[in-house]
Amino acid sequence: METITQNIQAIPLNHYIILCAIIFSIGVIGVLIRRNAIVIFMSVELMLNAVNLLLAAFSVYRGDATGQVFVFFIMALAAAEVAVGLAIIVMIYRNTNSIDINVLNRLKW
């Protein structure tokens, strides 16, 4: 236990922020370049997790456990979001036989 907690002592907060920014941008790029609705959904999950990790890092940095409680609530929210979103994707697939988002281009107008 002591060695694990000693492990974290020497890392600047900036490196956590940069790591989470990189993963968040990968999520953004994934939303922009993919057309499969499920992969887009997974990119959204990636963004949520990057924010979770940053909240936990700030919580440790400030010595305040509130950030970790927020992460818990974000996880509950993500579970609800995934349930509804996947149900919508299944319904779209049943109606159009495809989960390509370009099929839904009438939503644009």
- Residues of this chain, 3-62, that bind other proteins according to CB under 8 A: 4-5, 7-19, 21-30, 32-36, 38-39, 41-43, 45-46, 49, 52-53, 56-57, 59-61
Cα distance between residue 71 and residue 53, in whole Å: 8
3 state SS of 50: helix
* 44, 93, 105, 108: residue in contact with other proteins (rule CB under 8 A): 93
**β-pair partners for 36:** 100
Angle made by CA atoms 90, 91, 92, in degrees to the nearest 5: 90
Least CB distance from residue 95 to other proteins, whole Å? Answer: 10
Q: Which CB sits closer to other proteins, 86 or 104?
A: 86
- With tokens 């941008």, the residue in question is 25
Treating both helix axes as pointing N-terminal to C-terminal, what angle do 37-62 and 66-96 enclose, rounded to 10 degrees?
180
- Residue 96 in contact with other proteins, rule: CB under 8 A: no
- Residue 107 in contact with other proteins, rule: CB under 8 A: no
3 state SS of 36: strand
Contact string 67-86 vs other proteins (x = CB under 8 A): -xx-xxx-xxxxxxxxxx-x
Q: Which CB sits closer to other proteins, 30 or 106?
A: 30
